[in-house]
A and B are shown apart, each in its own frame.
Chain A
Amino acid sequence: MSDDQRALSDDQRALSDDLRADGVTAGYGGDPVIREVTVRAEPGTVVSVVGPNGSGKSTLLKAMTGVLRVTAGRVFVGDREVTNLPPEEMARAGVGYVPQTDDVFAPLTVRENLEMGGYLLHHREIPHRVEYVLTVFPRLAGMLRRPAGRLSGGERKMLAMGRVLMLRPAVFLLDEPTANLAPAVASVLLGEHVRHLAEAGAAVLIVEQRARAVLAISDRTYVMGGGELRMEGTPAELSASLDFVASFLGGRPG
């Protein structure tokens, strides 16, 4: 067994936490933007949250990662409650969050970005982890010394995901990773890289605008609208549903 594979199976035990948001209500201070949302992602699966703009998808992610305050409901990683933990504690609890914008340290090089991702690791582990991340994202190997601000959109997103991957978190939260990416790049990102994260054992929750594309790689999908959960199901079930289409185009479901 190679070092990487050994590392993988060692971590397999740690990566058996699922992600649960139970009845989460959150907002930006005034009225709540999302109300009583319950989602769940099991280890090794890709769960997507889709919906039209303003449906609260990004708000849900921000609430789950400690960026926004949860006013009701709770969030769990495995047995551990992580509701309203500050971001630095979330990282320690095994939550890896890739925000939609400002997702890399622009003045730092690619390698330094990855090293920051591995901040919580023992320093001896870092080179191994970097190597591992580079096997997942080989494109990055050629640009280790380049400042992150000078990467293309797709490369940046890979770096952002790679940075989070350094900690091998049990849970990945991705906020519209394909926004502003060309369709070809987006499909590679989703089809290969995001799927790989789940295959390595993590629970992946991905919020996306490109419903069709993300449905193709999801094990289960939630549909949000107006701050609430409207529907859930497997991609097959949803694609066949008229309500699914309607909820995207503003008609009232049912």
Chain B
Amino acid sequence: MSLLLASVGFGLITAAVLAIAAVGFTLQFAVTDVLNLAFAAVMTAGAFTAYLVNQAGYSVWVGLAAAMVACAALSAGLNYLVYAPFQRRGSAPITLVIVSLGMALIVEFGIASVAGGIDVSYQMSQGRTVTIGGMLLSTVQLIIIAISVVVMAAVHALLRYTKLGKAMRATAANRMLARGCGIRASQVIALTWALTGALGGLAGTVFAIDVGSFNASSTDIFLILILAAVFLGGPGNAYGAMLGALVIGLATEVSAAYIEPDYKYVVAFVALLAMLAVRPTGLLGARA
């Protein structure tokens, strides 16, 4: 029983990290129609930004803030310099995906070329361990979960209650009509990239905190988990991404308790493929 509980605990943390990333990814897709496969690389950039700040003597939580800023800028830059020009030209979605793969390579291996191949980790304390409902979690893990919950609430508030959030949803639903209301769609899109980039930086840092030691390629597999969560919940649907993250996070960790741990990601991949084959609009339907 405690094995199950422990794995549920791990699952919640994975789900927490995954939720932040998946929401960022899916909002990018919703508002801009780009499947940005460079998202995981942006996460890595965030993790390393936090690392540099941490190495300079600051707390990793300061580094986290720095990561968010850096990745907001990186993401907005990617859009301004690369994705938007291709879209203005009318490139097919598949071309945008290939370009995003190119960007993923540039960012990930640009970092690798500077950082080298050795694993690094943050200098931080894990805090005390706490027992909650039978699960053993460290303070830091609890903080991660708390951050994730706060972020989900913030995204919800943004989308439902703020002008920008509603403009984002309007632009995602019908860009021409949104412009007809006076919304400057290109500004909304730029802001979306910046915001979701910040989410990516946040996700990357908490990911690195969770795994302990990481290098430039650590997020590669994580991208697949993000895709699984996004497509499970419905591409473009923020709430779907949250649901998908919960399901995928729990499923991978709980399955690891019962099958060979090396195969725990198989569950995620199979879920993704099944979704694509059976119901490509996802559980909650696309684009809310």
Q: Which residues of A contact B (CB under 8 A)?
A: 65, 67, 86-88, 90-92, 97, 99, 102-108, 112, 115-117, 119-120, 123, 163, 167
Contact = CB atoms under 8 A, between A and B. Distances in A.
B180 to A, nearest CB: 5
Looking at B167, B169, B173, B185, the one whose CB has the most chain A CB atoms below 10 A away is B173
Contacts of B174: 102, 104-106
A106 B166 contact: no
Nearest to A147: B288
B166 A88 contact: no
Contact of A108 (B166, B176, B179): B166
Contacts of B181: 91, 116-117, 119-120, 163
Given A99-B177, A102-B176, A102-B177, A91 B182 contact: yes
A176 to B, nearest CB: 16
Contacts of A65: 180
Contact of B180 (A91, A112, A115): A91
Given A112-B166, A116-B166, A105 B182 contact: no
B178 interface: yes
A116 B176 CA distance: 13
A117 B174 CA distance: 13
Contact of B179 (A86, A103, A104, A115): A86
Looking at B170, B176, B182, the one whose CB has the most chain A CB atoms below 10 A away is B182
Nearest to A89: B182
| 4 A-B pairs closest in CB distance | A91-B182, A87-B179, A120-B182, A105-B173
Contacts of B172: 107
**Size class of B's contact patch?**
20 to 34
Contacts of A116: 166-167, 170, 178, 181, 183
B177 to A, nearest CB: 6
Contact of A105 (B163, B170, B179, B185): B170
Contacts, number: 65
Given A105-B177, A116-B166, 16 more contacts: A65-B180, A87-B179, A88-B179, A88-B182, A88-B183, A91-B180, A99-B176, A102-B174, A105-B174, A107-B169, A107-B287, A108-B173, A112-B166, A117-B181, A120-B181, A167-B182
Looking at A102, A116, A120, A163, the one whose CB has the most chain B CB atoms below 10 A away is A116
B156 interface: no
Contacts of A106: 173-174
Looking at B167, B169, B179, the one whose CB has the most chain A CB atoms below 10 A away is B179
A19 to B, nearest CB: 16
A70 to B, nearest CB: 17
A112 B181 CA distance: 12
A85 to B, nearest CB: 11
Contacts of A123: 163
B173 A107 contact: yes
B176 A87 contact: yes
Contacts of A88: 179-180, 182-185
Contacts of B288: 107
A16 to B, nearest CB: 21
Contacts of B163: 119, 123
A90 B166 contact: no
Contact of B169 (A86, A92, A108): A108
26 contacts: A65-B180, A67-B176, A87-B179, A87-B180, A88-B184, A91-B179, A91-B180, A99-B177, A102-B176, A102-B177, A104-B174, A105-B177, A107-B169, A107-B173, A107-B287, A108-B173, A115-B166, A116-B167, A116-B183, A119-B163, A119-B181, A119-B183, A120-B181, A120-B182, A123-B163, A163-B181
Contacts of B180: 65, 87-88, 90-91, 97, 99
A167 B181 CA distance: 9
Contacts of B183: 88, 116, 119
B23 to A, nearest CB: 17
A65 B181 CA distance: 12
